[in-house]
Structure 1
């Protein structure tokens, strides 16, 4: 028997915890104590990344656990970790927009503390260090070396600085005013209805009263390949935050998005300049995040994920409504003119179909079936299957009518199933890459 093998086997038998420690060694470190730190650490752990959360304050998420507060922002846009927390304060275990709205009216700090304690105690892949203070943060090859004041050390692939003063960032790189991101978001971005371009890469939604928006991924990642991520000190958040309880939903959403992004970099052993937008968005959707701020698509809606995926492709544009909201507008008819530009970018065969069906204006169900069969390369059994599963699988309302007009609901659901446009990659600038 090989001598080296005997030595390794002996070590494992005598010290079984050593192997476990190596396997469970954290690969991502979150630093901070606020709502964004909570969301980032929790999302990283849910993304199956061994995470250590260094809480540098005396109180966990003090903006929620200190005083009785009310949150009025983000009407019908609460999502992800934040929506889970709100629901749990009212003993609901499923995300629901109506429950979130009720919970936000009167947030009891003691109840929130109990909920967070329960969530964190049950979290896997998460080590929490309370009262932790940083001593040094240094880059060593592909890793970050972090030492705490008590001399404990961590070697991780990615860092998330969610502190209020960017202390970790300053230790690692110097002054925080050097902080730069891949793509700064201009003020004009928030003055337009979000649906295209950078919004295709949206990972965190918000509405602080001036209108809904989604924060593009490139505005939340470092300009370099350092894998040093920040949350509340991001330029785009500094522009938006007001220093009131109404900031909390946006901080939670942004923290969750950064947590998923950092976890992606660590898990795939890559760097922050080589991120896959759709993979990160898909991970966030899995945990209830919103990518596009459709206020008429409740988070409990059976087609919620479909609307988010189709919205993120830009095929169907969000429709602004009075009062500043953005709607998916489920029951509106679909025209060839509105879907053709993006579909032709997504699928090469799409261009041929539109040339051969130049006379199509408002889509009828036979037109949609024809498109799905040609572009999605489906067989003639498609119509019969959809008819049979109209309500059971696809959960459409009303009776099947082969001559009916195609609504945005029908189009989105069937296109998502049979052509999967969300699977087509996009760059960090929102450019479609097929």
Structure 2
């Protein structure tokens, strides 16, 4: 460990040869959001440079950060860098250790560079950005993420102020929650993609410095624009949501379903659709995965997603949402064979789905069980699009 610290140098020699470095995403900042944005952008497959603007990252206490794919990836890198076995608990992750691990990470990565070089000017360069470091040296990027002071950038935007991306509170009286790209841990808040994008300003994202979830969301959004060589205003909601879910960022802030849950992905996807709605209590959101599903709570949401569901519900009035009836519904709406579906679900019930209950066609399903079956056999999150307000487009 001492050797690693001894070798750690904050400045990364970006300019050993070239006077101008080209990258896909440039991140400005050194706190939670900048860390998450830069790591996510590089993990999503684009070249990323983070200018920390000081003596490295200064994160909140690491153990108190939300558990996402980004923090899990860091822990894996930390074990490798510090040569600590999986069976041994990691030491307290101080900012000194964190920066040493990040230095080792960026040195071994083809996509990530972290440096504390200071820029003195930022300006537009075509559809992207140029950060001037000296009169002769600069960084050109396709997309800029600002998790730091915005003042140096305002002249390039030709505005006097800029609002930081703001989270909204979960409210089922409107559908904006379906456009979420980040649920804020231990709150009822979420970030809509369309609250992150800046009107009339392309390829720049401005986020709060202290929020890891919003940082990760910004990183994936910037990576999408850079990878597909498009504008941030043309971001594809489903692609970005899918990318973030694959990196274990909770898009719905369910207090009672953590990422270690074997059914986390299915519950997140069904939660985003609103087919099953959560309870909001004491400033937190509860999915209640073990609660039984009722006919009334699913009837209208499923009809909103599928035309054929209207006929099925007309023919099946006020019935229990047991396994048999659920299979009947998904087979009718999804054009599947009933007997084959029953056999497949029985085979997967405990082995694949990890349900603790026994396979029983007369069993009223829990919200967990219903989510998994609907997600797998109807795929409402994956197959049905929504507009900017979250309204279902069929």
TM-score by length of 1: 0.76
1:367 aligns with 2:367: no
Give the equivalent residue in structure 1 for 2:98: 112
Q: How does 1:333-348 map to 2 (within 5 A)?
A: 333-348=292-307
Q: Do the aligned partners of residues 213 and 306 (structure 1) sit closer, same or farther apart at CA in structure 2, a change above 3 Å counting?
A: same
Cα distance between partner residues in 2 of 1:27 and 1:70: 28
Give the equivalent residue in structure 1 for 2:14: none
Cα distance between partner residues in 1 of 2:213 and 2:109: 19
1:144 aligns with 2:129: yes
Cα distance between partner residues in 2 of 1:195 and 1:83: 35
1:302 aligns with 2:287: no
Cα distance between partner residues in 1 of 2:190 and 2:262: 22
Q: 2:364 aligns with which of 377, 385, 405?
A: 405
Alpha-carbon offset, residue 216 of structure 1? 1.6
Pick the structure with more helix per residue: 1
Secondary structure, counterpart of 1:270 in structure 2 = coil
Contact 2:164–2:207 (Cα < 8 Å) also in 1: no
Q: Do the aligned partners of residues 430 and 168 (structure 1) sit closer, same or farther apart at CA in structure 2, a change above 3 Å counting?
A: farther
Q: How does 1:315-330 map to 2 (within 5 A)?
A: 315-321=275-281, 323-330=282-289
Contact 2:121–2:152 (Cα < 8 Å) also in 1: no
Aligned length: 368
Q: Deviations over 1:72-123 (max 9, x none)?
A: 6x7xx532324544687689x9xxxxxxxx989x653333333333433343
Give the equivalent residue in structure 1 for 2:47: 50
Give the equivalent residue in structure 2 for 1:17: none
Give the equivalent residue in structure 2 for 1:227: 203
Alpha-carbon offset, residue 40 of structure 1? 0.9
Give the equivalent residue in structure 1 for 2:28: 31
Alpha-carbon offset, residue 338 of structure 1? 1.1
Cα distance between partner residues in 2 of 1:401 and 1:330: 18
Give the equivalent residue in structure 2 for 1:156: 141
Q: Deviations over 1:396-420 (max 9, x none)?
A: 1121111111211111001111111
Secondary structure, counterpart of 1:26 in structure 2 = strand
Alpha-carbon offset, residue 220 of structure 1? 1.4
**Which sections of structure 1, spanning at least 5 residues, go unmatched?**
1-20, 94-101, 234-247
Give the equivalent residue in structure 2 for 1:416: 375
Cα distance between partner residues in 1 of 2:160 and 2:208: 12
Alpha-carbon offset, residue 168 of structure 1? 5.0
Q: How does 1:178-327 map to 2 (within 5 A)?
A: 178-179=162-163, 189-190=168-169, 197-207=175-185, 211-232=187-208, 248=210, 251-321=211-281, 323-327=282-286
Q: Do the aligned partners of residues 119 and 193 (structure 1) sit closer, same or farther apart at CA in structure 2, a change above 3 Å counting?
A: farther
Q: Deviations over 1:144-169 (max 9, x none)?
A: 34433252344432111122x11453
Give the equivalent residue in structure 2 for 1:61: 57
Secondary structure, counterpart of 1:60 in structure 2 = coil
Alpha-carbon offset, residue 53 of structure 1? 2.4
TM-score by length of 2: 0.83
Secondary structure, counterpart of 2:388 in structure 1 = coil
Cα distance between partner residues in 1 of 2:164 and 2:220: 20
Secondary structure, counterpart of 1:27 in structure 2 = strand
Alpha-carbon offset, residue 312 of structure 1? 0.8
1:392 aligns with 2:351: yes
Contact 1:87–1:103 (Cα < 8 Å) also in 2: no
Cα distance between partner residues in 2 of 1:227 and 1:70: 30
Alpha-carbon offset, residue 213 of structure 1? 1.8
Contact 2:273–2:380 (Cα < 8 Å) also in 1: yes
CA RMSD of aligned residues (A): 3.1
Secondary structure, counterpart of 2:232 in structure 1 = coil
Q: Deviations over 1:11-30 (max 9, x none)?
A: xxxxxxxxxx9xx9522222
Q: Deviations over 1:22-52 (max 9, x none)?
A: xx95222222222211211111111111223
Contact 1:198–1:428 (Cα < 8 Å) also in 2: yes
